[in-house]
């Protein structure tokens, strides 16, 4: 399958152009700005991308220096926005089903859509002071001198070199990228507990129930569930779905106020059953934390 990494861009026109140069890749870790990084490249006269010039950028002197990896560690994108109208994108990928491996030189690269599953991929393109620089076809090679991954394809450290021949040119573009990213964020861990105590207003049967959620980093938690009470004359029941802004440190309370959704029934003081589930997307990784459904008893006291 062809591959692509989606990254932030500083120009809508450039983004559309660059999007044509690679194919979709489904799962990627979020892009992060390098704590330190350099991108340099050059070519002899006649090389289409560099125009025979040398370029060098450092992370502290540009608007953006991001690195983003795929969750399967197969591919990555380096995105550098130097200034308005100047940006560069390096996309590299191992053959399908393989991981980018330290100490490996990948030869015979192609760019999408020419690349086949067994081909490594390399695309270096950009916009230089408003002038688009890209290849209809390309070949070349790249070497992963060093790479360190965190969870879900998070690229922590990268040292790589590359060589690209654009549009059949016999003159290569040669470049290097070195980047150190922040320490990988922790994966989201989340807990949820339903309170064993609730209240019910008589005679309308409006109940108040709740619980707490916990998390090791900020998350928007979706709490969904059902409350029902088996009675001789029927089974009042109600469902709920709320969002809880969870922050680490201490349990974050949540509560809902409900009436029975079953016609002709109303909650009464006594025991009821709660079935509750909490889920939240990890803001740093393409994964969802899920407590699974938890069933518990809640005592409804007259309010």
Q: What is the pLDDT of residues 44-61, one digit of tens each?
A: 999 999 999 999 999 999
252-273 tens-digit pLDDT:
999 999 999 999 999 999 999 9
- Give the separation between CA 215 and CA 284, rounded to whole angstroms: 14
Whether residue 79 contacts residue 8, with contact meaning beta carbons closer than 8 Å, is answered with: yes
Task: With H, G, I as helix, E, B as strand and everything else as coil, classify residue 118.
Answer: coil
Mean pLDDT, all residues of the chain: 91
Report percent pLDDT > 70 for the chain.
90
Cα–Cα distances in angstroms (integers) from residue 79 to residues 39, 167, 171, in the given order: 10, 22, 24
pLDDT of residue 27: 67
Is pLDDT of 70 > 80?
yes
Per-residue pLDDT for 71 more than 90?
yes
- pLDDT score of 29 more than 80: no
Confidence of residue 276 (pLDDT cuts 50, 70, 90): very high
pLDDT at 2 over 50: no
pLDDT band per the 50, 70, 90 thresholds, residue 112: confident
Is 80 exceeded by the pLDDT of residue 274?
Answer: yes
Spell out the domains of the chain, with CATH numbers in brackets: 12-180 (no CATH), 190-302 (2.60.40.3930)
- Residues linked to residue 69 through DSSP beta bridges, in sequence order: 76
Q: Residue 83: what pLDDT?
A: 87
Rounded to an integer, the average pLDDT of 293-302 is 98
| pLDDT for the residue numbered 11 | 36
| Interval 146-187: pLDDT, tens | 999 999 999 999 999 999 999 999 999 999 999 999 999 999
pLDDT higher than 90, residue 10: no
How long, in residues, is the chain?
303
pLDDT over 50 at 216, yes or no: yes
| Least confident piece of the model among 27-41, 203-217, 248-262 | 27-41
What pLDDT band is residue 113 in, cutting at 50, 70 and 90? confident
From the list 212, 231, 295, the residue with the least C-alpha distance to 269 is 231
β-bridge partners, 258: 207
pLDDT of residue 281: 97
How many Cβ atoms from other residues are within 10 Å of residue 259's Cβ?
16
131, exposed or middle or buried, with CB in 10 Å at 0-12, 13-18, 19+? exposed
User: If you write DSSP's letter for every residue of 196-260 in order, what string do you get?
Assistant: SEEEEETTTTEEEEEEEEEESS-EEEEEEEEEE--BTTB--EEEEEEEEEE-TTSPEEEEEEE--
Given a cut of 70, is residue 294 above it in pLDDT? yes
Give the C-alpha separation, 227 to 81, whole Å. Answer: 52
Q: Are 217 and 281 in contact (CB under 8 A)?
A: no
Q: Which two tokens stand for residue 128?
A: 């230089």
């Amino acid at each position: 399958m062809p591959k692509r990494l989606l990254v932030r861009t500083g120009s809508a026109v450039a983004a559309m152009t660059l999007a044509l140069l690679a194919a979709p890749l489904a799962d990627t870790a979020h892009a992060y700005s390098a704590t330190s990084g350099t991108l340099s490249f050059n070519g002899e006269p006649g090389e289409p991308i560099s125009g025979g010039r040398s370029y060098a950028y450092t992370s502290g002197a540009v608007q953006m220096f991001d690195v983003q990896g795929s969750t399967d560690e197969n591919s990555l994108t380096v995105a550098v926005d130097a200034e308005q109208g100047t940006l560069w994108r390096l996309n590299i990928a191992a053959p399908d089903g393989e991981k980018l491996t330290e100490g490996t030189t990948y030869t015979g690269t192609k760019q999408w859509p020419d690349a086949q599953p067994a081909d490594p991929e390399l695309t270096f393109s950009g916009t230089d002071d408003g002038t688009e620089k890209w290849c209809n076809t390309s070949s070349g090679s790249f070497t992963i001198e060093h790479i360190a991954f965190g969870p879900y394809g998070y690229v922590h450290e990268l040292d790589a070199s590359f060589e690209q021949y654009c549009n059949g040119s016999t003159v290569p573009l040669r470049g290097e990228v070195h980047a150190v990213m922040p320490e990988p964020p922790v994966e989201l861990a989340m807990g949820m507990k339903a309170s064993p105590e609730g209240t019910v207003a008589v005679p309308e049967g409006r109940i108040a129930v709740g619980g707490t959620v916990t998390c090791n980093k900020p998350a928007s938690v979706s709490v969904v569930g059902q409350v029902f009470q088996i009675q001789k004359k029927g089974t009042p029941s109600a469902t709920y779905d709320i969002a809880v802004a969870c922050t680490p440190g201490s349990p974050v309370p949540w509560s809902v106020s409900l009436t029975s959704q079953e016609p002709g029934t109303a909650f009464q003081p006594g025991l009821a059953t709660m079935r509750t589930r909490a889920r939240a997307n990890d803001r740093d990784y393409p994964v969802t934390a899920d407590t699974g459904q938890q069933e518990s008893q809640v005592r409804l006291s007259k309010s």
